[in-house]
Structure 1
């Protein structure tokens, strides 16, 4: 049997982590190309912050980070670091909401048979790291609040690593990686909303339902009210979104939750009599196109700049931070717990359902992607601040652990995936073959027929 001929599935079995539709593969590839640039900016911003925070000019960095601005009666007199975490990251989570809705309404994950394994793998990749962190810090109850720090995957950082090592991941693995990151983010924002909200004020929370409801109604009916005049829609929807964010922030719930809710409210498919995922693109596609460059190129790098600047205190300070239970728990959870949770859950489910992997990759590739998912940067930094308080010694040690674990995960994943580049190039070449010249590669037509 040649390398381009798929082996038949076992009796009663099915394929997991497949390529999906060709349209979905193209969409995912476009997203990851944008995230690659964002990942490079993210890493650069974090490096600049670390150098500045440990230079003779460190005081100026912390003075800039802690500079306060905003209207106090609206509870918006915040430091620049807080504005980055609460405000700019809301844009990032708005895109998370859009992407989640897109996947489950019109994407391949709307099919339970295709979504159950990657979603379960993402859940395993959240649960196992949390357990490992808790076990490491079991003797210090005050440190257990950081259990959620190592639960998220930073897709921008991960695809930047892939770009550096020149990995030609098959489309099935790219879709798997993005699914992991998106579901991770959903779980992370749920954890933030449930476990990291304090002093809830019901008044502002109830008031937030008014602009959110108006925003949802107008977004769903935007063609009726605005037609093709997108600028007019922005003039109304954007102030409603800002009002929702402001009231959610004032309620005591972390304001990034507002970003996800606003993303969920945007229609994914165009409302037509035919309905269904083939009705055409909705407002979500337009918003994703407009907001992703802002998120990847501005919002997330600025957050990384204000969040990653940790004063290490020289070599002794670095050693002290790395031997702290908080940092150790984060490192072990991300480097060991992430791949154990993702790979272990995937293996158990495929064996239980007698499923097989897509022919374009093997279990070693799932392992490599699982290790890559141990890069928990943006959301992990946010949860660290929520867990221990911005600028506390525990927060600093947690961030040292996050940075260290992300570096280790990146190096290990690079070592694993780079050895498979030859096989990835063969799979990539196969995915480009279109013998009937109809614009859809043969492998996608073959998968559709199967």
Structure 2
């Protein structure tokens, strides 16, 4: 699993000064942590400004939390979001997960653990009967109360077919829990990199890329843009028909407003996905998300992780290794995911590669905007020029001094008339 990092040593944190909503607030060591959100329903622009301030305060520790602060936060959230979000009791969530049993464990990471549960109107009147994912945050982990609160606020306000739906939350003493719709096919990371998973067909990969792009496009197109800041394969979840939805908004930030060109913030994200200018300067823009999206496109093309320390040194960073292969279809076929077994559109793959190359440009101004990315990907959905039919046989490139190895025509011709193996044909039918 890629490691999450916080590079505050690169650039000192520069938090936005806090200004309370009203005098009646939750406080942390004398400083306002969460304003009286309930008594003054803000406009969208005011809401965006306040969310930015709320999500930037430092993470609370156990000693900061008390029964009164939890009660007040619950009251504010209830008044702010009403019936749109359910405020669950911890006892209810323990019941539907058998006390967060390991038998119901879906996954775990720096945030804590995620367990499967089932809710219906017997648990709470008005609840739709459905399976859910219950995320139990580790308040002392890499993400804590601040990320929990940011996620509740963002997903409580934002609704879109390509964002995972937040059903409810729990804020009870030191416990912080989130309840989402259950995504039966798990994460894109599992499908690309777990050996037990069936290979994703080319059309399915394209569908996932389009769905994720639409989710980012929606965030960037808000009145005040939302910068996701942690786009990666593990945060792209898939429903039963492989519709992609973005999850985990704990690191999301409100984008620049007015004449500002960027947000300066503490550098946080995941190695291999974070845009280089953000890592170096702490300057965050929507183009930072575009870079991360380009990295995921490369993972979809190659079946390789963004960072892989088990590979030779010149192949560990996917962007650096793949760039020389992205300029032509002749080179590209050598780095295509072998699990595709040649069953992909040659033209489509080259267009995706070209798009990925633009997305990971070192100059943010050269990166396309998300609506352009959506249009480009959607135009590739109906291409049928499959590589196996044109004689292009996938080959794993050997390491070379300049990073590019292209075999001679004799090697290409040797596989020109080979038919896909029975296993490859079965994989195509399954997907």
Q: TM-score, normalised by structure 1?
A: 0.22
Q: TM-score, normalised by structure 2?
A: 0.23
Q: Which has the higher strand share?
A: 2
